[in-house]
Amino acid sequence: MMKRKATAVLMAAVCTTVMAAGCAGSSGSSGSGENGYTIGISQFAEHGSLDNCREGFLQGLAGEGIVEGENLTVEYQNAAADMGTAGQISDAFVSDKVDLICAIATPTAQSAFNAAMDTDISVVYTAVTDPVAAELADEDGNPTGNITGTSDELPIKEQLEMIRQMLPDAQKVGILYTTSEANSLSALETYKELAGDYGFEIVESGISTTADISLAADDLLSQVDCITNLTDNTVVASLPTILDKANEKGVPVFGSEIEQVRIGCLAAEGLDYIALGEQTGQMAAKILKGEAEASEMPYETITEPGFYVNMKVAENLGITVPEELADSAVESFDRIEDASAE
């Protein structure tokens, strides 16, 4: 069990630090009285999958009659992939006495849990790959406190099967990951456990910060036949850099969800993060309405992955997508979108 993180920063300093990190937010009165509900959304980094979670979360709430601008005030902050900032955001939300905190990604879920532990503020997370490893749930999936949410556990078996179909001669699969992200460590171990069943060897490269990405990617690309992504926030936020380097060497990069395929990964057996967010919003609505307690709600998952493929990337790499896979695609892209335009 995690101990509550002590707050030694004045609120003015918190706001200054958060603004300096490029965070954006809206303000409003707290409480669920005549002005409705106020929730704080803490997002760990700025990238497509987490943005989709946030969009889906608000859609899920709206579907349950809790609508931003009507009976819902949203305070949104982005930690810009910085753990310290994530902690300050959580502390600020607790000080504001929001009705609920929505934490998007594992690091923000952990910091929100710590900050709200001794309060009556519920925390609902999304895009947490392994809630058990993150100490947010026990082995049975039950909450370890006043916290619940949804997991984006990767369909690793299906991903390995798909890579083998796409690259029948590949032997070494590279994985770039952040050593401090519990979700990445958990997924990496599963990849290593299953890779041999498909004739693969996993070559891993751990990084600590965004500054490590360039050299680590160069080194990894020199050793592998392809790269497969995790839902690693630091790595995904730097995906355009990795894709540029991989394309120069003709090395395919497989994504973990639709947005990564949209911007240049070859393919993915991944999740729909808007749908995951909607599911999370529905859970949050039950808590806000008093229909359920977060502490009594096991975390939920989306169990069916979908196949996404970028045919333009396949063409550029000279790879033929097997007809069976192509026909099964939930979505197929014929161009590479500019990640900076998101």
Structure letter (DSSP) for residue 151: E
d(CA 211, CA 198): 33
DSSP element (H, E) containing 173: strand 172-178
Q: Return the amino acid letter for 239.
A: L
CATH match for 11-152+273-301 among 3.30.479.30, 1.20.140.10, 3.40.50.2300, 3.40.50.1700: 3.40.50.2300
Predicted pLDDT at 160: 98
Three-state helix/strand/coil letters over 229-248: CCCCHHHHHCHHHHHHHHHH
Query: pTM for the full model?
Result: 0.74
Q: Where in the chain is the domain with CATH 3.40.50.2300?
A: 11-152+273-301, 156-270+305-341
> Would you state the structure tokens that stand for residue 117, as one six-digit string?
């532990």
Q: What residues are paired with 172 via a beta bridge?
A: 201
| Identity of the amino acid at 241 | T
Question: Helix, strand, coil shares of the chain as percentages rounded to 5?
Answer: 45, 20, 35
**What is the pLDDT at residue 18?**
39
pLDDT for the residue numbered 14 = 38
- Long-range contacts, stretch 293-298, CB < 8 angstroms, 24+ apart: 293/122, 293/146, 294/122, 294/123, 294/124, 294/143, 294/146, 294/147, 294/148, 295/143, 295/145, 295/146, 295/147, 295/148, 296/143, 297/143, 297/148, 298/137, 298/140, 298/141, 298/142, 298/143, 298/148
Class in CATH terms, 156-270+305-341: alpha beta
- What would the two tokens of residue 223 be? 């050793």
Averages of pLDDT over each 10 residues, the chain, 342 residues: 34 37 40 74 90 96 97 96 94 98 96 97 95 94 97 93 97 96 90 98 96 97 97 90 97 93 94 92 98 97 86 97 94 85 46
pLDDT at 231: 84
Strand, helix or coil for residue 268: strand
